[in-house]
Homo-oligomer: A and B are copies of this chain.
Amino acid sequence: MLHIFLDKTKKRSFTRQIYTAIREKILSGELEAGKSLPSSRDLSRELCVARNTVLTAYDMLVSEGTVYSVAGSGFYVSSGVKCEPRSISVDDQQTASLSDFVITEKTINFDSGLPALDLFPRSKWNRTVSRAFMNAPVSALGYDDPQGRPEFRSVLCAYLKKTRGISCKPEQIIVTAGTKQGLSLAAKCLLDSRSEVWIENPSNANVKQIFSYHTEKITPFEVDAQGLQPKLFPVLGKPTLIFTTPSHQFPMGGILPMQRRVELTRFARKSGAYLLEDDYDSEFTYDAPPSNSLFELDGEHVIYLGTFSKVLFPSVRLGYLVAPLCLVPQIRELKRMADHHTNSTYQLALMQFIENGDLERHIRRMKKEYKNRRDCLLELLHTRFGEHVRIHGAAAGMHVVAEFEGAAFTGERIRRLLQSGVYVAPVENHSLTKGNHAHQIILGYAGLTTDAMARGLDLLKAELQLDTHLHPST
C-alpha cells in the first residue's frame, strides 16, 4: 500500500497526481533504493483508476530515472535519487516588502513621463494592431530582424526627416524597447571601465545608473535655464560620451540655443566624443516652435534616442536609436543578445499609424490638450502660491519644475505627501551633486485633469504650510 491520496477536485490528472506522490516518497527517502513498487494492477485497484493511468505514471518515473523496470518482474526505486530536504525558500516577510508599491491608481501622480492615457485612441490603435497582426507575413511571427523590420525603419526614416529634420538611412536605425534600452545599448557599445562620461546635471537618475554599470568616471556639468553650457565643460579629460537633452533639458526644461548646439558638436568633432541625444518629449512645444535635433547638425558624432512612450503610451515599449553607420553592426549585435528584437506586430502597426497620419493627428490633439493643461497648472500654482513659487522649463514638454524658495523636499516630506495622496518627484533625486535642488520639484501635468491638479496642489499647499515662513499670512 502506497497511501496515495487522489484529489478529484484538483485540475491535475490522476496520472500526474500518482507520479508526483510516488516521486515525493522516493526523493524524501520514504521509498528506498531497490524497493519494488506495487504492480500496476494492484495500485489501479487500490486507487480505483484505470490500469493505464498507473502505467503512464510509472513510465514517467522510469523515463526520468527515478524508477527502473525489470522485464517480467516489475518496477523498482533507483539508487542515488534521494534528495536532501530543502529548506523553505520563500520568506513571507520579505515577500511583503517586495510588492510594497506606494503609488496606486488613486494617487494624484505628477510623474513627468505620463501622457494622458485616458485620451489615447485605444480603439483605433487596437484596430491597427489587430489588422497588422492578421496581415503580418509569417516572418513577423518568427525570430525577426534584431535591428527592427526594414519596412518599419523606412517609414520611420521618412517620418524623422519630416518631423525632426533628421537625415538618415533606414540602416542607421535600431528599433528598441524604449529609451532605457537605447541608453543601455549605446553605453555597452562605447564604454568600458576606463571611459569618461560627461552628463548634464541634473539629469534623469536612470541615466547615471545605466552608465555606472560600465564606468565610474562620470562627470556632471551644470545646466542653466537654456540647457547645457559648453563653457562649463571640464578643462581636463577626454569624454567618450556626452549625454544631453537639447530639445527639453530633463528635468530643468531648457531648450538649447543654436550657438551652444554648434559649440557642442564642434567640441565632439574635435575631441572625438559621441553625443548621446535623448529627445524624449520634443513633440510637445508650446511657446516655442519645434526645433530640430542635434543629430541633424552632425550625424557622425551624435547618437539620437527617440521614444514612442510619450506620444503613444509607455507600455507600448517602442523606441529607436539612430546611430552613425560605423556603430550599427555592434549595436545591432548587442540588441540581438539583449532580447533578439522588439515586438514585430507593434512595428507593423505603428508603420500603419504613421502612414495613415493617425500618429501626427494624435500628437496635434495632445499638443493642444497638454498646452491647456500646462496653462491650467501654471494658473493653479499662481493662485495657490503666488510669488512663493518660481517655474522653470514651461515652454515645452510634459512637465515643469516648481521652485519653492526656502522649502526642502526631503524624503520624509515626499513620503508624507504620498500618504496624503499626491506624488511629486524632487529635482534633487536627479542631481549628481547633492544640495542644490532641494527646493525644487518636478510637476508632470500631461496625465492629469484640472480637477486632479487642483486637489494635488491643495495637498501640496497643506504640506508646505508647515514651513511657516513660506506663507507668513496663512
Q: Nearest chain B CB to A348's CB is how many angstroms away?
A: 10
Instruction: Tell whether A117 is near chain B: CB-to-CB under 8 Å.
Output: yes
Candidates B118, B142, B266, B336; contact of A138 at CB < 8 Å: B118
> Which one of B64, B210, B291, B447 lies within 8 Å of A60 (CB-CB)?
B291
Cross-chain contact B341 with A317 (CB below 8 angstroms)? yes
A39 → B minimal CB distance (Å): 19
A residues 241-295 with Cβ under 8 Å of B?
255, 257-263, 265-266, 269, 288-292
Whether A168 sits at the interface, judged by CB under 8 Å, is: yes
Contacts A64-B257, A80-B263, A83-B262; is A343 near B328 (CB within 8 Å)? no
A171 near B341: Cβ-Cβ < 8 Å: no
Q: Of residues 32 to 48 in A, which have CB atoms within 8 Å of B's CB atoms?
A: none
Shortest Cβ distance from A302 into B: residue: B89
What's the tally of chain A residues with a CB closer than 8 Å to chain B? Answer: 113
B89–A300 touching, CB < 8 Å? yes
Cβ–Cβ contact B64 & A255, under 8 A: yes
Residues of B contacting A56 in the complex (Cβ-Cβ under 8 angstroms): 289
Interface residues in A93-144 (C-beta closer than 8 Å to B) = 94-95, 98-99, 101, 105, 111, 113-114, 117-118, 120, 122-123, 125-126, 129-130, 133-134, 137-144
Q: Does A169 contact B (CB under 8 A)?
A: yes
Q: Is A314 close to B, CB under 8 A?
A: yes
Point out the residues of chain B lying under 8 angstroms from A8, CB to CB.
Answer: none
Structural contact, A142 and B338, CB atoms closer than 8 A:
no
* A337: B residues at CB distance < 8 A: 180, 184, 206, 209-210, 213
Complex contact B289–A59 (CB within 8 A): yes
A105 partner, pick from B139, B165, B269, B309, beta carbons under 8 A: B139
Contacting residue for A63 out of B98, B144, B291, CB 8 A? B291
Check A315–B141 contact: CB distance below 8 A: yes
Complex CA distance for A450 and B170, rounded to whole angstroms: 38
Q: A141-B313, A289-B60 are in contact. Are A338 and B122 (CB under 8 A)?
A: no
Contact A87 to B126, CB < 8 A, known contacts A141-B315, A177-B177, A325-B94: no
Tell whether A184 pairs with B338 under 8 Å between CB atoms, given A95-B325, A134-B123, A142-B114. yes
Does A297 touch B at the CB level, under 8 Å? Answer: yes
Q: How far is the CA of A332 from the CA of B97 in the complex (A)?
A: 14
Q: Is A339 on the interface with B (CB-CB < 8 A)?
A: yes
Q: Is the CB of A138 within 8 A of B117?
A: yes
25 contacts between A and B (CB under 8 A): A27-B262, A63-B288, A65-B260, A66-B258, A81-B262, A82-B262, A83-B298, A89-B300, A90-B171, A95-B325, A98-B332, A111-B143, A113-B143, A126-B134, A129-B129, A129-B133, A140-B315, A142-B314, A177-B339, A180-B336, A181-B338, A209-B337, A315-B341, A317-B339, A317-B341
Closest 6 CB pairs of A and B: A65-B257, A65-B258, A60-B289, A63-B288, A177-B339, A64-B291
| Contacts A63-B289, A95-B169 known; 8 new A-B pairs at CB < 8 A | A80-B263, A111-B143, A122-B134, A129-B130, A129-B133, A177-B339, A314-B340, A339-B339
Residues on A lying within 8 angstroms of B by beta carbon are: 11-12, 19-20, 23, 27, 56, 59-60, 63-66, 78-84, 86-87, 89-91, 94-95, 98-99, 101, 105, 111, 113-114, 117-118, 120, 122-123, 125-126, 129-130, 133-134, 137-145, 150, 162, 165, 168-169, 171-172, 176-178, 180-181, 184, 188, 206, 209-210, 213, 255, 257-263, 265-266, 269, 288-292, 297-300, 309, 313-315, 317, 324-325, 328-329, 332, 336-345, 447
